């Protein structure tokens, strides 16, 4: 198995990009009901320390997903098209909204949750190849 640090799709870089883009809610409506203007306001007010913490937490989550070979994550990083990359961006946007709503709960998310499959009805990962 390829080492996490050798993956060409780098979740921590995606997290930094997502932190810098305007939050529109695009791509995350399948996951949760959010009010984009509230998340965008919170994103604009995020401190440098919070941004660094979010990037670390994303990296930790994705590292865990790689270790347990979570299907959704392995499909993202092994995709031969841009669909996997796009899906990872969507997931990290969702995670940003969750982090901004409740950083403590976001940080407490455990290995069992991260290794659970995302229901196929709620995403397009079946098409990612």
pLDDT digits (tens, 9 = 90+) for 80-97: 999 999 999 999 998 999
pTM: 0.83
- C-alpha dist (Å) from residue 1 to 67, 88, 98, 111: 10, 20, 30, 19
Whether residue 121 has pLDDT greater than 50: no
The pLDDT-based confidence of 33 (bands split at 50, 70, 90) is low
Q: At what angle do helices 48-67 and 71-78 cross, to 10 degrees?
A: 100
pLDDT value of position 53: 96
How confident is residue 126, by pLDDT bands cut at 50, 70 and 90? very low
Residue 127 burial (10 A CB sphere; 0-12, 13-18, 19+): exposed
Q: Is residue 7 scored above 60 in pLDDT?
A: yes
- Within the chain, where are the H helices? 11-20, 36-44, 48-67, 71-78, 82-101, 103-108, 111-115
- Spatial contact of 106 and 53, defined as CB atoms under 8 Å apart: no
């Amino acid at each position: 198995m390829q080492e996490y640090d050798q993956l060409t799709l780098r979740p921590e870089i995606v997290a930094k990009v997502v932190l810098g883009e305007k939050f529109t809610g695009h791509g995350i409506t399948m996951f949760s009901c959010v009010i984009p203007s509230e998340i965008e306001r919170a994103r604009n007010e995020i401190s440098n320390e919070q941004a660094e913490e979010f990037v670390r937490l994303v990296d930790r989550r994705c590292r865990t997903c790689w270790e347990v070979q979570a299907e959704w994550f392995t499909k993202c990083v092994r995709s031969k098209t841009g669909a996997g990359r796009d899906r990872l961006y969507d997931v990290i946007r969702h995670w940003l909204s969750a982090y901004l709503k409740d950083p403590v709960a976001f940080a407490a998310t455990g290995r069992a949750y991260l290794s659970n499959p995302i229901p196929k009805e709620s995403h397009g990962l079946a098409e990612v190849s």
